[in-house]
Amino acid sequence: MAVKGNASLSRDLARYVPAKVVPALLGFLVIVLLSRRLPAAAYGSYAALLAVARLADSLGFAWLRQSILRFRPEAASSGEEAEFKCLLSLLLLVIVGVEAALVFLCSVALQHGVVRAALAAGLVVSMTPYTFAATIVQAERAAGTYAGGALIQSVVQTAWVGLFVFLAHRGEAWALLGVLAGLAAGTAYLVGASRGAVWSRPLPLARVDLGRVKVLCGYGLPVALSVLGFQLVNQGNRLLLFALGSAESAGVFASAYDLINGSLSLLMTPFLLAAHPAIMEARLRAGGAARRGVEEILSSVSRHLLMIFLPVLFLATVLRGYVFAPLGPGYGVEGWVVPVLVTGAFVGQFAMYAHKGLEIADRTTTILRITAATGLLNLGLNALLIPHYSYFAVAIVSLLTHTAYFAVASMLSRRHAALRIPWPPVRRFAAAVAFSGLVFPAARAAVAATGAPAEAALLVGTLAFGSTYLAVLAWWGELPASLLARPGAVPRVPAREGGVGR
């Protein structure tokens, strides 16, 4: 199987960008619509039920998702792709059934009622097949198809929320139905547009090697539990707020965090979607070329992400009083919490690259141990502090535990593939932010002196800051033409004997 060259990573990234930009913008619109129609307590109930479904999807399917991305290239190279897809389809059916039952019981236990518990179970029945189809498409590096599914999913959900919740004055149950409808539409598109890559004709059971399940579990289950640990930090925090604080505090925090994390995900996830399959393919190279290829990708991606994050952090700090202006009355966290949440969300997403060395070395159990330790620390500190400090504690604790995970994972991954942050350009990024930061108040004051509204002054100041930052980087030669500095062909990857996981 010929592995795509580095230049294709840039093409994949360009296709994944709309898969995040438009859904993220529509996701922000959904948050605004819901916050302006639902009371904070109702939004908190909606967020809690959605969190239960997402946690179930992470626990039940994340192990298979990681195994698909890890073993799919080997299945294709060994000529066993049909058998591999059939096995995946069987596992999907089992996973969805178990997840739906567990979510229903958990939702009833949280006293959401039978109807809302059934909605949460329905979310899983739609969420996991969508995740499955999107993972197959990502493993195939069909970025355009992936983008189409994401766009359809977000458009249908937004239209549903706008029509039934915002205009027809429906409640949080209808908001959950909107999520379900979007996922179902996105799945239908991915299955149809993938031309058999997602769902193929069933094979006789005798041709399916069920013994591979053990291999897939051995690799994927620790990663799945690690993903669950991250979800417990992000989704579990709002559940703790709901249980130990109040539904109002859970609604306020969930809306604020979703806006912030969604904004950063808009910028960062396209890199991960494009880089992860390339990293998994690069690991199949022989000898030291595998490590060099992986480290080159990690270094380049980290450089680009930090180039984006530093100016975002500056703007989040100076504009923190205006970040939540689109939300309804009673929503929005205190100003100083905003840069803390922004930094914590960035470190949490950046940590996905910190453990890549362990991941490509199949040291997924080590990833699980790190995640379990930091996840338990997060939950313990939040359980102790939330009753006294509400979401203020959640913001600080999330930043601390994400940072701890990043540091430990980076240290243990060095033996296999190190995340080498290119510090000279990062220092130039910071210097460019500092210099451009001087332009912001000057431009803002100049516009304010004309009697223009404060919002106009902030807009001009932000544009002046961004333009200056880009100009300084261009002057220093820090604006690259493509994602990777050395595009070109990559050697062919020989097929491994015996097929996947044997």
Q: Give the Cβ contact number of residue 312 at 10 Å.
A: 18
Establish if 481 belongs to a structural domain.
no
Q: Residue range 265-270: average pLDDT? A: 78
Confidence band of 466 (pLDDT split at 50, 70, 90): very high
Q: Give the Cβ contact number of residue 496 at 10 Å.
A: 14
For residues 370 and 472, state if they share a domain.
no
Domain that holds residue 135: 6-421
For residues 401 and 378, what is the distance between their CA atoms, to the nearest angstrom?
A: 6
For residues 221 and 62, what is the distance between their CA atoms, to the nearest angstrom?
A: 8
User: Which DSSP state fits 206?
Assistant: G
Establish if 497 belongs to a structural domain.
no
Q: Which of 73-82, 127-136, 276-285, 487-496 has the highest mean pLDDT?
A: 127-136
Q: Return the HEC string of 383-450.
A: HHHHHHHHHHHHHHHHHHHHHHHHHHHHHHHCCCCCCCCCHHHHHHHHHHHHHHHHHHHHHHHHHHCC
pLDDT at 291: 78
pLDDT at 498: 40
Least confident window among 106-120, 227-241, 347-361, 481-495: 481-495
Domain count, the chain: 2
Establish if 496 belongs to a structural domain.
no
**Torsion on CA atoms 68, 410, 398, 337, rounded to nearest 10:** -120
Least confident window among 83-87, 114-118, 497-501: 497-501
Q: Residue range 100-122: average pLDDT? A: 80
Cβ proximity of 399 and 233 under 8 Å: no
Length of the chain: 502
Residue 160 above 80 pLDDT?
Answer: yes
Least confident window among 144-148, 199-203, 498-502: 498-502
| 0.75 exceeded by pTM | no
DSSP three-state, residue 500:
coil
For residues 341 and 466, state if they share a domain.
no
For residues 406 and 435, state if they share a domain.
no
Residue 213 above 60 pLDDT?
Answer: yes
* H helix or E strand, kind and range, residue 25: helix 6-37
Cβ proximity of 50 and 234 under 8 Å: no
For residues 33 and 165, what is the distance between their CA atoms, to the nearest angstrom?
A: 8
Establish if 487 belongs to a structural domain.
no
For residues 269 and 295, state if they share a domain.
yes
pLDDT at 179: 93
For residues 430 and 55, what is the distance between their CA atoms, to the nearest angstrom?
A: 36
